[in-house]
Amino acid sequence: MIPLTYKEGRIVNPEILMPVFGEFDVAVCGGGMAGFGAAIAAARMGCKTILVERESALGGLATVGLVNIPLDFLAGIGKEMIQNLEAMNGHWHRNSDPEKHKLVLDRMAVQAGVTLLLVSHVVEAIVENDVIKGVVVENKSGRQAILAKRVIDCTGDADVAHFAGCETMAGRPSDGKHQACSLEFRLGGVNWEKYAESDLKKNDPQWIKLIQECFDSGELPYMIDNHLNWLTHVPGRPQKSQRDEVSICFSHSRNCRPLDAVDLTRMYLEGREQADILSKFIKRNIPGFEDSYLIDTGSLLGVRESRRVVGEYVLKTMDVVRANTFEDTIAITGHHLDLHNPDGPGNIKWAELEIDGKTCYVSTLGKVGSWPPPTGWDSITDGWGRSGDQFQKKRLPTSIPYRSLVPLKIDNLLVAGRCLSAEFMAQACCRLILACINMGQAAGTATAMSLKQNIVPRKVDHKLLRQQLLADGCEIGQTFNL
């Protein structure tokens, strides 16, 4: 109970005494893919580790958000996770069963000795002299402190870094707009064989022509998106009995403010309306979906990008397009520049960069994506400003340096996952599920090493860290001789 006291038009939150929930070596905040990787890695190296998650399950977007499409390099803890999923018929073709996935994450975390605290929101950071000492959580039991020698921020939104007073970035530098958000949904009662063999899947796999036709005829009330982003075939369902299940990335909210609860509410409502419109459109128009029905929408909105920390190194879009390597690479990603249009349909797969004093529109793949640059498709260049016949597709993966996980100013804090220290367009390339686990594993490993050696994480020896990651089966570019 607090009294209703105003000061400068705001309500005063009086001084309170918080119980300490516990003292840990490592507190990992956010139990998405990055947080999972970080907690497992730290616990396996002997740290007393707690993983705090506000939802009721681990996995974040990949499970609760129904993004059941774990792409990027299979290595380390991520590879083990996929193998465990496969053993229970919960993975094929890089498609996973979100429910089995949750269970695998629970079991692996418990087995590694991680203390799990679900349904708990991290609401504050405890900081003394620029050193993080713990976090404050709020849950059914009230407001409590968790003290920790090291904290890893895997909230996707860099919440902890923000609370701790670290410098952060958000959205596109030109206008502050964020990538479009999507609420995923699942359909059941699908005849997968019929769809897989259909002319539509072979000739218009992203339904681009179909969507345009249905928009022109008025069947689709507005351009929710101009293409199907992806449709996954959920494993482990009765096969060849026309009872297949799919998960679909199609809905899009634009002009999103993913750090604002009012706008998040708007997007959940909009996403559910879109799932209603789209599931009916699919039932009417897609071969094999005649008897399909909507199972559910994600309980976590698909936020692709929100707040990113400013770290010792900010991964540059130029690093992505030129496949630059670092002496402290801790993970790699094979993804391309993949921006879901912040304020209109479709996606943008090029970035505006200055090369040799010239403005270039750079792509790693060529003339792809929904929209051409302002000067037309022919002006697309590669990372060295070459266009036309000279254009060279990027073949090597993008390297992510350890310094992109180390925030400036505050010590004993690391970040991992989609809130890493990267430029807006560079982040659009570093956010795939397995890349997030791999970053998490690196952050957890570095944290454990810093504890053992009694040094701050930013002082961890890059070479020793990379050696440890290699020993743990991680992919840090060795396969590509980077």
Partner 1 sequence: MKIYLIDHGCKKCGSCEMACPAQAIYMLEDTAVIDQKLCRHCGICYDSCPTEAISVHEDNNQKQEQEKP
Which residues are at the interface with partner 1 (CB under 8 A)? 69, 71-74, 92-95, 196, 201-206, 230-233, 334-336, 365-368, 393, 395, 397
233 or 403, CB closer to partner 1?
Answer: 233
What does 316 bind: partner 1, ligand FAD, none (CB cut-off 5 to 8 Å by kind)? Answer: none
Least CB distance to ligand FAD at residue 385 (A): 30
Least CB distance to partner 1 at residue 242 (A): 17
What does 157 bind: ligand FAD, partner 1, none (CB cut-off 5 to 8 Å by kind)? Answer: ligand FAD
Give the span between the Cα atoms of 121 and 114, in whole angstroms. Answer: 18
Least CB distance to ligand FAD at residue 267 (A): 11
Least CB distance to ligand FAD at residue 86 (A): 17
Footprint of ligand FAD (CB under 6 A): 29-35, 52-55, 60-62, 67, 69-72, 121-122, 154-157, 159, 182, 184, 230, 249, 302-304, 417-418, 431-433, 436
CA-only gyration radius of the chain, Å: 23
397 or 417, CB closer to partner 1?
Answer: 397
What does 367 bind: ligand FAD, partner 1, none (CB cut-off 5 to 8 Å by kind)? Answer: partner 1
What does 428 bind: ligand FAD, partner 1, none (CB cut-off 5 to 8 Å by kind)? Answer: none
SS (H, E, C) the chain: CCCCCEECCEECCCCCCCCEEEEEEEEEECCEHHHHHHHHHHHHCCCCEEEECCCCCCEHHHCCCCCCCCCCCCCHHHHHHHHHHHHCCCEECCEECHHHHHHHHHHHHHHHCCEEECCCEEEEEEEECCEEEEEEEEECCEEEEEEEEEEEECCCCCHHHHHCCCCEEECCCCCCCCCCEECCEEEEEECHHHHHCCHHHHHCCCCHHHHHHHHHCCCCCCCCCCCCCEEEECCCCCCCCCCEEEEEECCCECCCCCCCHHHHHHHHHHHHHHHHHHHHHHHHHCCCCCCCEEEEECCCCECCCCEEECECCCECHHHHHCCCCCCCEEEEECCCCCEECCCCCCEECCEEEEECCEEEEECCCCCCECCCCCCCHHHEECCCCCCHHHCCCCCCCEEEEHHHHCECCCECEEECCCCCCECHHHHCCCCCHHHHHHHHHHHHHHHHHHHHHCCCHHHCCHHHHHHHHHHCCCCCCHHHCC
User: Which residue has the CB atom at the shortest distance from ligand FAD?
Assistant: 32
The residue among 343, 389, 354, 346 whose CA lies nearest residue 371 is: 346
Least CB distance to partner 1 at residue 96 (A): 10
What does 196 bind: partner 1, ligand FAD, none (CB cut-off 5 to 8 Å by kind)? Answer: partner 1
149 or 227, CB closer to partner 1?
Answer: 227
What does 122 bind: partner 1, ligand FAD, none (CB cut-off 5 to 8 Å by kind)? Answer: ligand FAD
Least CB distance to ligand FAD at residue 446 (A): 17
What does 418 bind: partner 1, ligand FAD, none (CB cut-off 5 to 8 Å by kind)? Answer: ligand FAD
Least CB distance to ligand FAD at residue 101 (A): 11
Helices (H), strands (E): how many in the chain? 12, 24
170 or 380, CB closer to ligand FAD?
Answer: 170
5 or 89, CB closer to partner 1?
Answer: 89
* Beta strands in 261-407, from DSSP E residues, in sequence order: 293-297, 307-309, 329-333, 339-340, 347-348, 351-355, 358-362, 380-381, 398-401
387 or 438, CB closer to ligand FAD?
Answer: 438
Least CB distance to ligand FAD at residue 110 (A): 17
What does 397 bind: partner 1, ligand FAD, none (CB cut-off 5 to 8 Å by kind)? Answer: partner 1
What does 258 bind: partner 1, ligand FAD, none (CB cut-off 5 to 8 Å by kind)? Answer: none
Lookup result for tokens 């707009």: 177
Least CB distance to ligand FAD at residue 90 (A): 16
355 or 368, CB closer to partner 1?
Answer: 368
What does 393 bind: partner 1, ligand FAD, none (CB cut-off 5 to 8 Å by kind)? Answer: partner 1
Give the span between the Cα atoms of 132 and 147, in whole angstroms. Answer: 9
153 or 382, CB closer to ligand FAD?
Answer: 153
The answer to whether the CB of 414 falls within 8 A of the CB of 405 is: yes
318 or 396, CB closer to partner 1?
Answer: 396
What does 203 bind: partner 1, ligand FAD, none (CB cut-off 5 to 8 Å by kind)? Answer: partner 1
249 or 323, CB closer to ligand FAD?
Answer: 249
439 or 448, CB closer to ligand FAD?
Answer: 439
